[in-house]
Structure 1
Amino acid sequence: MHMTVQLRPADETDLEAILEIHNDAIRTSTSIWTDEPVDLVERRAWFAEREAAGFPVVVAVVDDVVVGYASFGPWRPKSGYRFTVENSVYLAAGHRGRGIGATLLAEIVRLAQDAGMRVMVANIEAGNAASIRLHERSGFTAVGTVRQVGTKFGRWLDLLIMQLPLQTDGWDAAAT
């Protein structure tokens, strides 16, 4: 069965679908390190902050249904980090493992490159093999693990940090 995935910039009408995908990740996974689902007011504020800062939110649509979203935003708040961004890629249950995440990730990598960003970072729960594979296949490399820095579902979580150089002029490959 052939599936056509369309990517487009998200708009306000997508926020309920984005909220549903986001809250499913909160309830069922260690992808988002918070215990309580959020409401539409929170997602609207998040979306408005992304738009105001010029950070994209992209949705993946299959048969007129939003099945995933991706974005990037600031990695750290200090100005010295302004050319480094952190990505987020989330898919609805039933749409994982079909290449949609890779398509979304490739699009936000392209958008970050076009925006002149230097590095994209992925902060991934160290046991999330699917996300680690997705990022490895997209050219990210693991650069470190911070042990037991989060907790969810009654257990301590390790954070794997991965990075992708977006602009390689003057990039010191030996340092990675």
Structure 2
Amino acid sequence: MEIRRAGHADIPHILDIYNEAVLTTVATFDTVPRTLEQQLEWFEQHGEAYPVVVAEDAGLILGWAAANRYSDRLAYARTAELSLYIRDGHRGQGLGKKLLEAVLAEGKRAGLHTVLSRIVEGNGSSIHIHRQFGFDTVGTMREVGFKFGKLLDVVMMQKML
């Protein structure tokens, strides 16, 4: 398995993994699958400053992680928000840790200073992995999401690079 920077050829695979999460999990608060055009636009917004990495094994993209622009206000330019998604059937095998390690290292090389992560409360495995990498819980936003008929809290975590 290889962890590497994502390229344009990876976008359809990133989209497949993301849209599966949209439809079946609360890992994202999107409720409508994205189109390929929307995912391409998302990818183009990253550039060198906000890395996107993928885990690939035998030509199959198993997961991806991204340091996303936190805000379009310039004072936030060195702050990113993390995204991390693993293909269904490949979760719980340590891929999340490898991708998190890689995206944080790439983000630091790109000049990022702090990374934020919003995690739905109750996702203990994601919170645990973040803690292993030095993220601190900085707050809980109560009932900010509504998905699958439930109001959901979000834990905000932060790491200085």
The two structures have a TM-score, normalised by structure 2, of 0.94
Do structure 1's residue 29 and structure 2's residue 29 form an aligned pair? no
1:97-130 per-residue CA deviation (whole Å, 9 max, x = no partner) reads 1111111101111111112221111111112112
Give CA-to-partner distance per residue, 1:107-162, whole Å, 9 cap, x none.
Answer: 11111111222111111111211211111111111110010111111111111000
Report how far residue 78 of structure 1 moved. Answer: 2.0
Q: CA deviation at 1:163?
A: 0.7
- What residue in structure 2 maps to residue 105 of structure 1? 100
Aligned mate of 2:13, from 10, 14, 17? 17
Which sits farther off after the overlay, 129-138 or 72-81? 72-81
* RMSD (Å), alpha carbons: 1.2
Please tell me the residue identity of whatever aligns with 1:83: R
CA distance in structure 1 between the partners assigned to 2:98 and 2:80 by the alignment: 18
Q: How big is the shift at 1:87? A: 0.8
Q: Distance in 1 between matches of 2:30 and 2:10?
A: 22
Identity of aligned residues (%): 35
| Ranges in structure 2 where 5+ consecutive residues have no aligned partner | none
Residue 93 (1) aligns with residue 88 (2): yes
1:134 to 129, 134, 141: 129
1:146 aligns with: 141
Q: Does 1:61 align with 2:53?
A: no
Give the secondary structure class of the aligned counterpart of 2:81.
strand
The SS at the match of 1:50 is coil
Residue 80 of structure 1: how far off its partner (Å): 2.0
Aligned mates of 2:52, 2:102 — CA distance in 1: 10
1:42 to 2:38 alignment: yes
Name the SS for the 2:45 alignment partner.
Answer: helix
- Which of 114, 120, 144 is residue 119 of structure 1 equivalent to? 114
The number of equivalent residue pairs is 161
Q: Which residue of 1 aligns with 2:71?
A: 76
Report the TM-score when normalising by structure 1: 0.87
